[in-house]
Structure 1
Amino acid sequence: MKKVKIALLGLGNVGRGVWNILKENEEEIMKRSGFKVEVAKVLVRDINKPRGVEVPDGIVTTDFNEILNDDSIKIVVEVMGGIEPAREYMLKSMSRKKQIVTANKMLLATNGDELYKKADEEGVMFNYEASVAGGIPIIQAINESLTGNKIKELYGIVNGTTNFILSKMELENGKFDDVLKLAQEMGYAEADPTSDIEGYDAQYKLAILASLAFGTKIDVSKVYREGITKITDVDMEYAKSFGMVIKLLAIAKDVDGQLELRVHPTMIPETHPLANVYDSFNAVFIKGNAVGDLMFYGRGAGDLPTGSAVVADIISIVRTNIDVDNPISVVKNNLWNKEIMDVANVESKYYIRATVQDRPGVLGEVSAVFGNYEVSMHSVIQKGEIKNKSKVALVLVTHMTTEEKVRKALDELSKLNAVESIENLIRIEEFE
């Protein structure tokens, strides 16, 4: 049996998953790839830190040069996370003709172009299936299985933490702060959950998916982002009354050659397949002009699901015969130069919840403001559910309109004496 040596950069949650899969599934991997995959080195920051797995003496190191200068190591697997030194290590490894596998969504979303270009120049493979949606093979599907399609729309539930929180709020009437604490206790959320609950994690992942789906470079800072911290049990109840649920969606659309890219809480019909994705599961829903509607579903995080995607990337490299000295094109995102649409021009329906004074004429004042900005109403609900009897909740659902018109109307509304506060704004996606 032929052997290929690899190195792991990092032995945290994902790194341990990769290690365990390579050990537990060794026979299956050998039969399917034709190679015995051997972990020759594992790079860590602290050699004395407990690992949770048994690693033989001589494999663990704190010196990256032991990996870089070892020509017998053919594949470098980066599972350490962060921007630096991960970026530096991968670039240096490419220069030494080592193939690369990574799960680093943040680095790909912010510095991906540099890495793609370097891999292309050096003729090495650069695989990153695990960077989006854990064990779901969505990168491979877009890169290979769907290359005969023009992808028109992509909708993703790509963050397990926020989906867990919203699921608990929907199904068990939980309050945001209580469910977030539960998510932290269960290991779904970090001690500092900002990246998840404020939508940054989903923003990085959408940038990667959109880059591949539409064949263009994506500036992640132009991907509109909102988190879920404003969602309350009240909003959940209203959504339910409309026959809808609330999900943190990553949305990408090709609208007449411009890209609409946004991450935010979204009300979607309870009959849509994405509405039934619960707990920490992820799903990506794609509309192709030839294939129609497809949905990919599975665990979006965790050591074994993410480790599974990493190992699949390793096997993919091994199967291509990594010793062949032929350049391998890896740049997939420079086929077209598509402009990202300003969110102000995005069209949607909107759910707006406000607290207003309970007196005659208020609804007329509110309606007049929306009329001034050509925002028409689909429905209006007024409920005296607030403890202060002089105030009531006002819920409005608009027809299709632009973000700019809604924002201008809300800005003017907030200045009315009759309007105590604008509590929330949630976009509605009904799908075609």
Structure 2
Amino acid sequence: MDVLNLGMVGGGTVGSGVFHALQQNGELLACRIGVRIQVRKVAVKAVDEPRPYPIPRRLLTTDWRQVVEDPEVHMVTELVGGTTVARQIVETALRLGKPVITANKALLSAHGPELFRKAERHGTNLYFEASVCGGIPIIKALREGFVGNRIRALYGIVNGTCNYILTRMARDRAGFDAVLKEAQREGYAETPPDLDIDGHDAQHKTGILASLAHGIWIPPSKIRVEGIRSVSPLDLEFASQLGYTIKLLGIVKELGSADATDGETPLQVSVYPALIPSRHVLAGVQGVFNAVFVRGDVVGETLFYGQGAGKDATASAVLSDLADAALDLRFGSPRRRPAFVRQPNRVRVVPMDEVVSRSFVRLSVVDRPGVLARIAAVFGQAGIGIASVIQPEGHTGEIVPLILMLHEAPDGAVRRALGRIGRLPVVKAPPVRFRVESLD
């Protein structure tokens, strides 16, 4: 049986998980692919640092170049994170013609196009299944399983921290700050948690999925991102009464057929908390789990569900890429499946102001006659219709919540109208607005 040597850069939570998985299932993997993968060397920050799974001291080094530049190392895993040293590691390995397996979504989001070009230039490949949704094989599905489909829509719950927080808030009617602190105690949220709760982690992942699905690299600057800080138990309660659940979604969807003038299909790429129908399968995704709902023009609707993070789920995805890289090396076909392929259909990422959707709006208003009429007048002047109104009883005092469901309208028009409404003397707090996604 052929033997290939693996050099690992990163031996922390994910890296030690990969090492452990190889020790546990290495023989099974070798039996299935006909290639034995053995770890030759592992670069770590510190030899004696604590790690979830032990790695023999004889394999450890603190110099990543000793791993990447070792002529006996055939392929490299980059599991250190970040976009500075990680980029040097990946570029060095690719320049040496060695395939790289990475879980680094931030690196791909920031430097994906140049890294893929470098891999092509040096006759090797970059594998990144573990960069999105941990153990869910969504990258492989988009690249292989749906290779004969145009992806009409993709909706992803791709950040477990946010999903855990929203699940707990909805279930226990707990406040955002209290649940965030609990998530940090349980290890589900980082300190500081900004990357997750402000939507930037989901933004990186959604950009990767959009780029794969549509063959045009989409930088973070083109992706509208909103986090979950503004979601309150009150919003979750009223959404439930209306038949909805609030989830942080990564959204990639075609907004129509190709434009008659330039032949480009308008495409929405966004991350924001949205109301989705409680009866939809995505609404049932609870806790730290991830899910991606994909609609293809041939296959129809499919759902991918599972652990989105953690040492073992991520290790599973890394092993999948190691198997692909090993087979490509064994059969001399490192470019068998390019990491990123431009597609013949042309798409145009639409500015968020042009995207049309329904909206859920919560206002804090003075409890007196004529308030609703003043608010409705502003929406009417903007050409925005009100579908339903809830002014719940049981709220004492001068300030009460007012819940509005709006008909479809361009995002920019809703935003400007809410800006005017927020300046009305009868409105006593900034308006809270969430878009409604029917997922049809």
TM-score range, shorter chain: over 0.9
Residue 16 of structure 1 corresponds to 16
- What is the Cα deviation at residue 422 of structure 1? 2.9
1:154·1:286 contact (CA, 8 Å) conserved in 2?
A: yes
- What is the Cα deviation at residue 323 of structure 1? 6.5
How many residue pairs end up in the alignment?
431
Q: Match of 2:201, SS?
A: helix
1:122·1:327 contact (CA, 8 Å) conserved in 2?
A: no
**CA 1:233 to 1:325, structure 2 compared with 1: closer, same or farther past 3 Å?**
closer
Residue 375 of structure 2 corresponds to 366
For residues 416 and 407 of structure 2, the distance between their equivalents in structure 1, rounded to whole angstroms, comes to 16
Tell me which amino acid in the other structure corresponds to 1:381: I
Tell me which amino acid in the other structure corresponds to 1:411: G
For residues 281 and 339 of structure 1, the distance between their equivalents in structure 2, rounded to whole angstroms, comes to 31
For residues 265 and 98 of structure 1, the distance between their equivalents in structure 2, rounded to whole angstroms, comes to 40
TM-score normalised by length of structure 1: 0.97
- What is the Cα deviation at residue 325 of structure 1? 6.7
- What is the Cα deviation at residue 185 of structure 1? 1.2
Indicate the percent of aligned positions where both proteins have the same amino acid.
Answer: 39
Q: What are the Cα deviations for residues 125-163 of structure 1, in whole angstroms up to 9, with x where unaligned?
A: 211000000000000000011010111100000001111
For residues 337 and 237 of structure 2, the distance between their equivalents in structure 1, rounded to whole angstroms, comes to 50
Q: What are the Cα deviations for residues 215-272 of structure 1, in whole angstroms up to 9, with x where unaligned?
A: 1111111100000111111011101101111100000112231210110101000111
For residues 315 and 394 of structure 2, the distance between their equivalents in structure 1, rounded to whole angstroms, comes to 49
Residue 59 of structure 1 corresponds to 59
Residue 380 of structure 1 corresponds to 389
- Which moved further from structure 2: 33-42 or 273-282? 33-42
Residue 357 of structure 1 corresponds to 366
- What is the Cα deviation at residue 359 of structure 1? 1.5
- What is the Cα deviation at residue 328 of structure 1? 4.4
1:117·1:331 contact (CA, 8 Å) conserved in 2?
A: no
Residue 356 of structure 2 corresponds to 347
Residue 159 of structure 2 corresponds to 159
Q: Match of 2:121, SS?
A: helix
For residues 216 and 117 of structure 1, the distance between their equivalents in structure 2, rounded to whole angstroms, comes to 14
Q: What are the Cα deviations for residues 345-403 of structure 1, in whole angstroms up to 9, with x where unaligned?
A: 0111100000111112111111100001001000011235544x222211110011111
1:76·1:101 contact (CA, 8 Å) conserved in 2?
A: yes
For residues 299 and 331 of structure 1, the distance between their equivalents in structure 2, rounded to whole angstroms, comes to 24
Residue 128 of structure 1 corresponds to 128
For residues 42 and 305 of structure 1, the distance between their equivalents in structure 2, rounded to whole angstroms, comes to 20
Q: Which runs of 5+ in 2 are unaligned?
A: 258-264
For residues 173 and 359 of structure 1, the distance between their equivalents in structure 2, rounded to whole angstroms, comes to 28
- What is the Cα deviation at residue 208 of structure 1? 0.1
Residue 195 of structure 2 corresponds to 195
- Match for 2:297 among 289, 300, 305? 289
For residues 394 and 192 of structure 2, the distance between their equivalents in structure 1, rounded to whole angstroms, comes to 34
2:78·2:102 contact (CA, 8 Å) conserved in 1?
A: yes
**CA 1:397 to 1:310, structure 2 compared with 1: closer, same or farther past 3 Å?**
same
2:337 is aligned with 1:324: no
- What is the Cα deviation at residue 81 of structure 1? 0.4
Q: Which runs of 5+ in 1 are unaligned?
A: none
- What is the Cα deviation at residue 83 of structure 1? 0.2
- What is the Cα deviation at residue 186 of structure 1? 1.2
2:275 is aligned with 1:270: no
TM-score normalised by length of structure 2: 0.95
- What is the Cα deviation at residue 344 of structure 1? 0.3
For residues 309 and 334 of structure 2, the distance between their equivalents in structure 1, rounded to whole angstroms, comes to 34
1:353·1:422 contact (CA, 8 Å) conserved in 2?
A: no
1:217·1:333 contact (CA, 8 Å) conserved in 2?
A: no
